[in-house]
Structure 1
Amino acid sequence: MKSAVETLNPTRVRLTVEVPFEELKPSLDAAYKKINQQVSVPGFRKGKIPARIIDQRFGRGAVLEEAINDALPKFYTDAVNEGELKVLGQPEIDITEFNDNEELKFTAEVDIRPEIEIPDYTGIEVTVDAVEVSDEDIDKSVEQLRDRFATTTPVERAAADGDVIVVDLEAVVDGEVLEDGVAKGVTYTIGSGQLLDGIDEAVIGVEAGGTATFTSELKGGSAAGKQAEVKVDVTAVQARELPALDDEFAQLASEFDTLEELRADSVKRLERMKKYDQATQAQEKVLDALLELVEVPIPEKLLADEVETRKHNLEHHQFPTMGLDWDSFLEREGKSQEEYDAELESQAVKGIKTQFILDELVTRESLSVNQEELTEHLMRRAATSGMSPDQFAQAVVEGGQVPMLVGEVARGKALATVVEAAKVVDSNGEAVDLEDDEDETEGAETVEAVTAAAEDAPAEDTAAEDASTEDAAGSED
């Protein structure tokens, strides 16, 4: 086999491949064997039909077509390996010349990962928010805890904002009560916004035993997105009572004996949260600065596939849970379809560019992923997925997604390398030390957020995935 590579642009090549007929023999033999198992000819046992009889009965052309379909993937892969190409997605193959007992010639056009030059990034400087815990922050934190320990007392008066009510609901669309639009004994805190739009205004001023109606757009169920007339029967009104802010409350709500100790602990917890947010902000800003430094040509087909994948996920996975369609979604966002498509394309470009650059850094810095890092990342992903670690790990292995997770961790480590080299100061002008961060793979979360859906787009095994150690790769077993 001979092959040649023609560069069409920085992200696309055309392979020209010539295969001597004798190299097709294994596929030709396999084609005869396959057809033998599929057809019956009187006078011959199944699987024992001579090749000349198959040619006579079914045509030599059918055999040759089967052989070429079998052989093309191998010859294409051999040509890719010979050209040392990092291909993306599926090729467009065109058989340019082939006759029986003659040479097979074909071309394959395919996107490739572009060559990237990463300049010196040690001069990157970013400013992040300072870690400051105000009295207002502490008060809000304590109030949230206090709210969790609120009690309710039945009252004989009209419902007011902040009260807890028990209601029966009935939704009517086009004059008919929905089968899934009836709910009994629903407990609701007025003003929480956790039920239908319009219910707060409808029930305020209604006493137990009273009824109100309002119009609202249904967010889920069989009539999601439709306007419904909703009848609400108030069966009980309860006033919420917050516990007094004193030492007794501290003992009730925490392991501390005094309110002062509880507030002091809130300060420590809020500082930890703000430091985590600060580290995430640093990663995001350093990544944006790195993207500005590097020119990356984007493969057109890969970009189109990525945009389509993101739109498909939105339409088929997110819209149904939110009770939306494209019209209602765009109305909510306040954008036209063209404006949203442009925004989606910009996000996709950033995601692809991020993945390319960080994969290049993984290779350049010889970064690898060990079993402990992979397990830690898997545990974090499991927590956000709502699955147990064992369930998530099983789903990852069965879906062949271990290399994807390895890639996420490796890219996170590449980003951490750049962040470590950058100058990070807070809004007060003080240098920020991020080396105390206990989780050195946290950057994977930032990368994952930027490259969301990229794993669904067609791509080759990335350099980051190849950088996995034997331990990490062994987790597939």
Structure 2
Amino acid sequence: MKASWEKIEKNLGVLEVEVDADRVSAALDKAFNKVIKNVNVPGFRKGKVPRAIFEAKFGVESLYQDALDILLPEAYTEAVDQTGIFPVDSPEVDVEQFAKGEPLKFKAKVTVKPEVKLGQYKGLEVPAQSTEVTEEELNAELERLQQRHAELVVVDDEPAKNGDIAVIDFDGYVDGVAFEGGKAERHSLELGSGSFIPGFEEQVVGMSTGDSKDIEVTFPETYHAEELAGRQAVFKVKLHEIKRKQLPALDDEFAKDVSEFDTLEEFKADLKKQLAERKKEEAEAVREGIVVDKASENAEVEIPEAMIKSEVKNMMRDFNNRLRTQGMNLEMFLGFSGQTEADLEEQMKDDAEKRVRNNLVLEQIAKEENIQVTDEEVEQELEKMAEQYRRSKDEIRSILAANGSLDSLREETMLRKTVAFLIENSKEVAAESK
């Protein structure tokens, strides 16, 4: 097989391929064996029609499309390997010649991974990050723990306010007609959570137990149910009960309940230590982000739209997976937020472009600095994953292999090593005072 690559502009080029005639014949044979199983010709049993009879009756051309479907993908893959290009999108294929006894000739217009021209990436200045835990941060963490361990108590003598749980019945109408999904009984709604239509929760605030009220709202223009988007609605609401968080006292008993310590002072000392470790990890993450962004900004690269679209798809998949761990899915989220999938993809586009750019720059730095990942390092990553997911290393390896993700694991490890290289070769400077 012959294959040649010619760049025509930026990240676009043409792959020209010629496949030997004997491989064309072999593909036609496979195509015949595939289609003959379903061919009926009088005088012959199904699937037993001789090749010559088949071609005389239907023509060899009837096999061409099936043969192309067999031969083109494998020939294209071989041509990509032979020319050493890295496609990032599906090719536009133009078959110039395909016939029995002749070579297959085709051209494929291909978008490839862009070239990266690196700028400065060593000696980058990174502002120092404070890891000191302030009294305000410690108090904020204690308050968060209080909130987590708070008890809900019924409030009878005060109106509802933000932060309360309002137990309500509601019945929604548009132009006096009830609509699907607009009715519920004894629904628990956290006021101020923003989980209902804009303007709804604000009008429940101030209601008292036993009150009934008509609440008027307007559905967002981007609401997922088109028949309701932008429409005004009236909800008949009855408030059955108000529940309010009662925070536990910050004392030794609280420390015993939420930790292994007997006194509040011991607990606070340990909590401060934990916060310091967390701030240290966060500081390292911030420093990594700054040094990668600076190296990326100093580089020159034109990113194909196909790579951005692909990364947006990856981000959408990851987002949906995170939602599922919370008992939701993408469809439910879009319903609650009043957005469309296209809206969400548009919001992710800038971040997707940044991710692609940063990864391309890191890959190029790894090439320049000959940063490689050993088999031992891959094994170490597998061991970490096995420990994290409480499965054997062989199980993790099998899962990744089945998903085609073993190479991705090596690539991710290489990117992390490259980021570590940038950190080692950066300069920490005093943060600018505000």
TM category (shorter chain) comes to: 0.7 to 0.9
Going from structure 1 to structure 2, the CA distance change for 1:129 and 1:53 (only over 3 Å counts) comes to same
State the distance in 2 between where 1:215 and 1:392 align. Answer: 54
Deviations 1:185-228 (A, max 9, x none): 34455555566654554344443322233234679997886654
Q: Give the match for residue 264 of structure 2.
A: 259
Going from structure 1 to structure 2, the CA distance change for 1:72 and 1:143 (only over 3 Å counts) comes to closer
Going from structure 1 to structure 2, the CA distance change for 1:349 and 1:57 (only over 3 Å counts) comes to same
Cα displacement (A) at 1:131: 1.7
Which of the residues 354, 358, 367 maps onto 2:373?
Answer: 367
Deviations 1:383-407 (A, max 9, x none): 9xxxxx9999998665444444443
Q: Give the match for residue 246 of structure 1.
A: 251
Q: Give the match for residue 45 of structure 1.
A: 45
Q: Does 1:208 align with 2:214?
A: no
Which of the residues 410, 420, 424 maps onto 1:420?
Answer: 424
Cα displacement (A) at 1:44: 2.1
Deviations 1:16-43 (A, max 9, x none): 2233423322112212222221212122
Which of the residues 267, 292, 316 maps onto 1:287?
Answer: 292
Contact kept, 8 Å, 1:169 with 1:183, in 2: the verdict is yes
TM-score by length of 1: 0.72
State the distance in 1 between where 2:406 and 2:170 align. Answer: 47
Q: Give the match for residue 105 of structure 1.
A: 105
Deviations 1:53-86 (A, max 9, x none): 1111111211234323322222222322222222
State the distance in 1 between where 2:408 and 2:293 align. Answer: 23
Deviations 1:351-381 (A, max 9, x none): 222222233445531124423314535877x
Q: Give the match for residue 6 of structure 2.
A: 6
* 1:318-337 matched pairs, under 5 angstroms: 320-325=334-339
Going from structure 1 to structure 2, the CA distance change for 1:113 and 1:243 (only over 3 Å counts) comes to closer
The code of the aligned residue for 2:371 comes to E
Going from structure 1 to structure 2, the CA distance change for 1:356 and 1:193 (only over 3 Å counts) comes to closer
Q: Give the match for residue 412 of structure 2.
A: 408
Contact kept, 8 Å, 1:167 with 1:232, in 2: the verdict is no
Contact kept, 8 Å, 1:162 with 1:240, in 2: the verdict is no
State the distance in 1 between where 2:255 and 2:294 align. Answer: 45
Going from structure 1 to structure 2, the CA distance change for 1:103 and 1:391 (only over 3 Å counts) comes to closer
Q: Does 1:276 align with 2:281?
A: yes
Going from structure 1 to structure 2, the CA distance change for 1:94 and 1:327 (only over 3 Å counts) comes to closer
Contact kept, 8 Å, 2:196 with 2:336, in 1: the verdict is no
Q: Give the match for residue 449 of structure 1.
A: none
Contact kept, 8 Å, 2:167 with 2:186, in 1: the verdict is yes
Q: Give the match for residue 183 of structure 1.
A: 184
Going from structure 1 to structure 2, the CA distance change for 1:149 and 1:19 (only over 3 Å counts) comes to closer
Going from structure 1 to structure 2, the CA distance change for 1:122 and 1:168 (only over 3 Å counts) comes to same
State the distance in 1 between where 2:422 and 2:111 align. Answer: 28
Q: Give the match for residue 145 of structure 1.
A: 145
Greater Cα shift, 34-43 or 147-156: 147-156
Cα displacement (A) at 1:50: 1.8
Contact kept, 8 Å, 2:191 with 2:202, in 1: the verdict is no
Q: Give the match for residue 77 of structure 1.
A: 77
Q: Give the match for residue 57 of structure 1.
A: 57
Going from structure 1 to structure 2, the CA distance change for 1:116 and 1:309 (only over 3 Å counts) comes to same
Q: Does 1:236 align with 2:241?
A: yes
Greater Cα shift, 8-17 or 179-188: 179-188
Deviations 1:120-164 (A, max 9, x none): 622111114312322111222212222334345545423253674
State the distance in 2 between where 1:110 and 1:101 align. Answer: 28
State the distance in 2 between where 1:46 and 1:267 align. Answer: 80
Cα displacement (A) at 1:110: 1.0
* 1:89-168 matched pairs, under 5 angstroms: 89-118=89-118, 121-161=121-161, 164=164, 166-168=166-168
The code of the aligned residue for 2:292 comes to L
Once superposed, what is the RMSD of the aligned Cα atoms? 4.0
Q: Give the match for residue 353 of structure 2.
A: 349
State the distance in 2 between where 1:100 and 1:190 align. Answer: 73
State the distance in 1 between where 2:431 and 2:160 align. Answer: 43
**Structure 1 unaligned blocks of 5 or more:** 331-339, 384-388, 430-477
Give the secondary-structure state (helix, strand or coil) at the position aligned to 1:101: coil
State the distance in 2 between where 1:184 and 1:394 align. Answer: 49
Cα displacement (A) at 1:242: 3.1
Q: Give the match for residue 384 of structure 2.
A: 376
Contact kept, 8 Å, 1:159 with 1:203, in 2: the verdict is no
Going from structure 1 to structure 2, the CA distance change for 1:390 and 1:425 (only over 3 Å counts) comes to farther
State the distance in 2 between where 1:240 and 1:313 align. Answer: 34
* 1:427-466 matched pairs, under 5 angstroms: 427=431
State the distance in 2 between where 1:270 and 1:153 align. Answer: 31
State the distance in 2 between where 1:152 and 1:309 align. Answer: 40
Q: Give the match for residue 304 of structure 2.
A: 299
Contact kept, 8 Å, 2:6 with 2:15, in 1: the verdict is yes
Greater Cα shift, 278-287 or 345-354: 345-354
State the distance in 2 between where 1:71 and 1:163 align. Answer: 64
The code of the aligned residue for 1:252 comes to D
Contact kept, 8 Å, 1:36 with 1:47, in 2: the verdict is yes
Deviations 1:101-136 (A, max 9, x none): 333322112122234454562211111431232211
Identity in percent: 30
State the distance in 1 between where 2:397 and 2:115 align. Answer: 34
State the distance in 2 between where 1:307 and 1:39 align. Answer: 45
Give the secondary-structure state (helix, strand or coil) at the position aligned to 1:88: coil
Contact kept, 8 Å, 2:372 with 2:414, in 1: the verdict is no
State the distance in 1 between where 2:6 and 2:162 align. Answer: 70
The code of the aligned residue for 2:373 comes to L
